[in-house]
Amino acid sequence: MKVGFIGLGHMGSGMAANLLRAGHELTVFNRTAAKRRALVELGAREAATVGDACGGEVVVSMLADDSALRRIALGDEGIIDNLRRGAVHVSMSTVSVELTRDLNQAHEQAGQKFVAAPVFGRPDMAAAAKLFIVAAGAADATRICQPLLDCMGQRTFPFGTEPADASLVKLAGNFMLAATIETLGEALTLTAKGGIEPGAFVELLTSTLFPAPAYRTYGALIAQSKFEPAGFAAPLGHKDVRLLLAAAEALRVPMPIGSLLNERFLRLLAQGGENLDWSAISHLAAADAGLPRISRS
């Protein structure tokens, strides 16, 4: 298929490479040209402008946040201005429910199709085509882009025809992860202060009731107090919690753990944690208990 790909960051570059490997004819765009070159070496055509990447049946975007996606899609000479009628924009970024709704409306008015398809998974899973994809959009649009999603992820979870629903589900999923981090932080602080070896407690959890990647990954990081280098940086975690609370505000849903997480991130950032992994909020529970760290040494 003739496909454009916009946004070649840690996630996007691996995803685009997987589309190339599957034989799709790819045109890539990234603000900093350096990142395009690696893809060009793999066989991609290089776009000089957003418009250049919008000539095919589908354009995929994978951008950092609301403001980047808003500019690229709705801005002057953006996707809306350039995509031809009937073509599909697949937005795979984690962005707000509100922006997803705005984009859907703008594409509709322009006679274009729109699918929101945010992903769960870290860069290594993106490179290995092992992402989990949450997709929502009109049936004809999702049908067109499904073969592309299959090249990038291990499974697509369909969530109906309303793109904004995919963004809501993605934000709720990230909330589950952040809440797991906070919960592990409190439990490991309690047990560590009580003299229990953190690794042993994590081993118990992940061998019994919580044999899940989320608990293994974050349990290990927290038990070792290892928050650098950041796999997913604290400011990004904070951003997602704020998008969650904005969605909750619009739907009038009080979320006490959501509020607590927001306070934790604000504090982490106020105290200088910009470069730490988002799991460093667990350290705050330890600090509150007078423990310099959860791990023993």
State in angstroms the smallest separation of the CB of 164 from a second copy: 8
Residue 191 as a binder of a second copy (CB under 8 A): the answer is: yes
Residue matched to tokens 């105290």:
271
Least distance in angstroms from the C-beta of 123 to a second copy:
16
Q: Is 200 in the site for a second copy (CB under 8 A)?
A: yes
Among 5, 120, 227, 278, indicate the residue that binds a second copy (CB under 8 A).
Answer: 120
Please select the residue that binds a second copy; options are 5, 29, 114, 201, rule is CB under 8 A: 201
Read off φ and ψ for residue 118, nearest 5 degrees: -65, 160
| 247 lines the binding site for a second copy (CB under 8 A) | yes
Classify residue 155 as exposed, middle or buried by CB count within 10 Å of its CB (0-12, 13-18, 19+): exposed
- Interaction of residue 33 with a second copy, rule CB under 8 A: no
Q: Choose the stretch contacting a second copy; rule: CB under 8 A; options: 31-39, 41-49, 79-87, 213-221.
A: 213-221
Nearer to a second copy, 59 or 181 (CB): 181
> Does 239 participate in catalysis according to the annotation?
no
Which one of 14-22, 42-50, 57-65, 211-219 is the stretch in contact with a second copy (CB under 8 A)? 211-219
Quick one: which of 163, 162, 134 has its CA closest to 149? Answer: 134
Nearest distance, CB of residue 239 and a second copy, angstroms = 11
Alpha helices in 32-138 (DSSP H): 34-41, 66-74, 79-82, 97-109, 123-127
Q: Does 292 bind a second copy (CB under 8 A)?
A: no
CA distances (Å), origin 53, targets 21, 27, 96, 141: 18, 6, 24, 18
Nearest to 55 by CA among 31, 23, 89: 89
**Annotated active-site residue in 2, 35, 130, 170:** 170
For tokens 């990038």, the residue is 152
1 vs 260 by CB, closer to a second copy: 260
User: What are the structure tokens assigned to 153, written together?
Assistant: 């992820």
Q: Which of residues 145-164 bind a second copy (CB under 8 A)?
A: 155, 157, 159, 162
CA distances from 157 to 116, 146, 154 (A): 12, 11, 10
Active site positions, annotated: 170
